[in-house]
Amino acid sequence: MNKIRILLFVALVSSSMSSCKKKQHLKVAKSEHKTKLELGGKQLQHVKIDSVRLVPESDQLTAVGEVSFAEDNVVCIYPLVSGTVEKVTVSLGDYVNKGQILATLLSTDISQYQRDYNISKSNFEVEEKNLLRSQELFNAGMQSEKEYATTKKDHANALSEYNERKQILELYGGSVNDLDARYQVKSPRSGFIVERNITEGTQIRNDNGTNVFTISDLKTVWVWANVHESDISIVHEGDNVIVRTIAYPDKFFAGTIKKIGTMLDPASRVIKVRTELSNNNGLLKPQMFATIGITSKQMLKVIAIPKTAIVLESNRYFVMREVEPQKFEKVSVSIGKTFGNFYEILSGLNEGDKIVVEGSLFVLTAFNQL
């Protein structure tokens, strides 16, 4: 009888221990199940997974500025003579070719140059006849060598004077054929008329410092950005630049910084930074206001992930990391700087980790329901 009691006691103890082990095993499985979420194939269709990478840190500086002429491609035309504008043949914005007549002036200066040219021409014609007669006399022995040499010298002087007066007249735009006191303003290069400061009847003085026309091809323009004194240290030549204008808010124009000014404006405390932009389509016009985004070329690489991968929950940031194929865990992360569509990750992830970058809220919600 005692033997039966002992056997029953042993059986009860064994059963109790086995029950405890089963309960402990279920608890662990439940805990493990809580830390990992497994998704099926249909659920993964709504999820995009990508690896955590090191990306260049692009801390962008924003400045304001304006579009300007590329001074290397600009020609300012000043009057060489005084006079009255008789006719202007071009308008602001017109495209002109090299050598095209832009305006005509009636000028007393040209009249004087034409008079000097006519006198020198007449003197040269006289000396040319004298030289021919002197040469005949010298060959016939009726004139001394000294007299013949003097005649040749006078002819050479007359020729030199004639050539000089002809060059001066042509240099100032006068014509040797039409002695009409007209001065023609011609374009020295092809391009657009971007400035015009005369109209018909305008009185012009050659000592006036105001140009009558400005020509630029506008295929290349300069953009000047106003960088504040406090930001000068983070701006370098060669930095990448994105330019946007009010006229074209949906377009951007990319370039690099070509030059940083050396003088600080004492009133506004800004320094001028220049960017050159290709403008073959002609969209950018001088004097346009612009917003300039400057990104340093001296960038460090940091761990960063798309903003779409992060979920804010209870004032903490979380991402869903794939620990095994189709199995995910919830990871708390600390974020740093924001640049573009990325957040810098200070802690919680390592390079190479696979995370949910699209559909992260869906996956996290499913995880919380475990």
Token pair listed for 155? 């002819």
176 with 131, same domain? yes
- What does the alpha-carbon distance between residue 165 and residue 162 come to, in Å, rounded to a whole number? 5
289 and 309 share a domain? no
Whichever domain contains 117, its CATH number is 1.10.287
CA distance 204 to 353: 75
Q: Residue 16 has what pLDDT? A: 46
pTM above 0.85, yes or no: no
- Across residues 142-154, what is the average pLDDT? 88
pLDDT range class, residue 7, cuts 50, 70, 90: very low
Provide the CATH number for the domain around residue 311.
2.40.420.20
Please name the amino acid found at residue 296. S
CB 293 within 8 A of CB 59: no
Q: If you average pLDDT over every residue of the chain, what do you get?
A: 84
In a domain, 360, yes or no: yes
Q: Is residue 154 part of a domain?
A: yes
In degrees to the nearest 10, what's the CA dihedral of 59, 64, 66, 67? 20
Q: Are residues 288 and 325 in the same domain?
A: no
Residue 58 pLDDT class (50, 70, 90 cuts): low
Using N-to-C axis directions, what is the helix angle for 145-171 and 108-139, rounded to 10°? Answer: 160
**pLDDT on residue 136:** 86
Would you give the distance in Å from CA 146 to the centre of its chain? 72
Report whether pLDDT(4) > 60.
no
Domain boundaries, position 229: 61-72+217-295
Pairwise CA distance, residues 66 & 289, whole Å: 4
CA–CA distance, 335 with 356 (Å, rounded to integer) = 16
Beta carbons of 204 and 84 less than 8 angstroms apart: yes
Residue 356's pLDDT band (boundaries 50, 70, 90)?
very high
Residue 198 domain-assigned (yes or no): no
Residue-wise pLDDT for 92-131, tens only, equals 889 999 989 999 888 888 888 888 888 999 999 999 999 9
Q: Are 105 and 84 in contact (CB under 8 A)?
A: yes
Among 151, 180, 209, the domain boundary falls at 180
Give yes or no: residues 47 and 68 share one domain: no
How remote is the C-alpha of 183 from its chain's centroid?
40
Which domain CATH number covers 268? Answer: 2.40.30.170
pLDDT category at 19 given cuts 50, 70, 90 is: very low
Task: Say if residue 287 is in the same domain as residue 319.
Answer: no
Any domain includes 304: yes
Rounded CA separation 128/155 (Å): 6
CA separation, residue 90 to residues 77, 168, 189, 316 (Å): 14, 26, 14, 67
- The domain tally of the chain equals 3
Residues 307, 244 within the same domain: no
Indicate if 270 and 318 belong to the same structural domain: no
Q: How far apart are CA 34 and CA 328, in angstroms?
A: 10
Task: Report the alpha-carbon distance of residue 269 to residue 272 in Å, rounded.
Answer: 10
Tens digits of residue pLDDT in 299-336: 677 898 999 999 999 999 999 999 998 899 999 999 98
Identify the burial level of 22 via C-beta atoms within 10 angstroms of its C-beta, where 0-12 means exposed, 13-18 middle and 19 or more buried: exposed
Q: Same domain, yes or no, for 221 and 290?
A: yes
Same domain, 290 and 340: no
AA identity, residue 339: F
The rounded distance, in Å, linking the Cα atoms of 345 and 334 is 6
- Whether residue 104 contacts residue 329, with contact meaning beta carbons closer than 8 Å, is answered with no
SS3 58: coil
